[in-house]
Amino acid sequence: MAEAGVERKDWYVWHDGYDTPGSTLALRLRAVQERIRAALDGYPPGPVRVLSLCAGQGRDLLTVLADHPRRDDVSACLVELDPRNADAARESARDAGLTGVEVVVADAGHTDAYAGSVPADLVLVCGVLGNIPDAEIRATVYACTQLCATGGTVLWTRHRRPPDLVPEICRWFAESGFALEWLSAPDEPFGLGAHRFTGTPTPLVSGSRIFRFTR
């Protein structure tokens, strides 16, 4: 999951960690996939719109969609800055026959990347909140009111190293009109939350920066 503002870190090679059994990345990926599956299982019949920020190679969403009964109901936009990761995501979608998946090479920290793709029923903010300054984490949470449809779900991840911001992130979501549906246990090596949006989406503010990855 790559983004602007990062130097010397190869976000394509970074994905290799998913292939290491028992690694934190592998465990987190499996947990995210389980929550994606649970979200898709809970939607009523009809179209489902999905948005993934800093989508990387799309291993979380695309692996689930490949064999999910709702796969043909889903139209998904994956926003990823690294063209190599974007190409890998496109190849995975193509191999799985997922015709409703669009992969956009763009800066996910900028609102213009989401024009025409919001509000979404499922918003993935995975691998983002651990790589941006604390103030921008809060701004990203608030920006989810522009990205998520009423009744939709936001899935997010964040490491639990000190200072553990997971409780604060949950509070910021609550302040923004999101109800907590699921939260990983404190002893897990990662934080993963699922929040349902109970409010009304705010209009997408064009030309606005939400976050920028730190080194």
For the segment 72-87, what is each residue's pLDDT rounded down to a tens digit?
Answer: 999 999 999 999 999 9
What's the pLDDT at 10?
78
Q: Is residue 210 part of a domain?
A: no
The per-residue pLDDT for range 32-42, each reduced to its tens digit, is 999 999 999 99
State the residue range of the domain holding 130.
Answer: 19-197
pLDDT at 202 over 90: yes
Read off the CATH number of the domain in which 89 is found. Answer: 3.40.50.150
Cβ(156)–Cβ(148) below 8 Å: no
Report the number of distinct structural domains present in the chain: 1
CB atoms within 10 A of CB 38: 15
Q: Is residue 191 part of a domain?
A: yes
Residue range 99-118: average pLDDT? 97
Confidence of residue 3 (pLDDT cuts 50, 70, 90): very low
* Residues in the chain, overall count: 215
What's the pLDDT at 14?
59
Q: Could you give the percent of the chain with pLDDT greater than 70?
A: 92
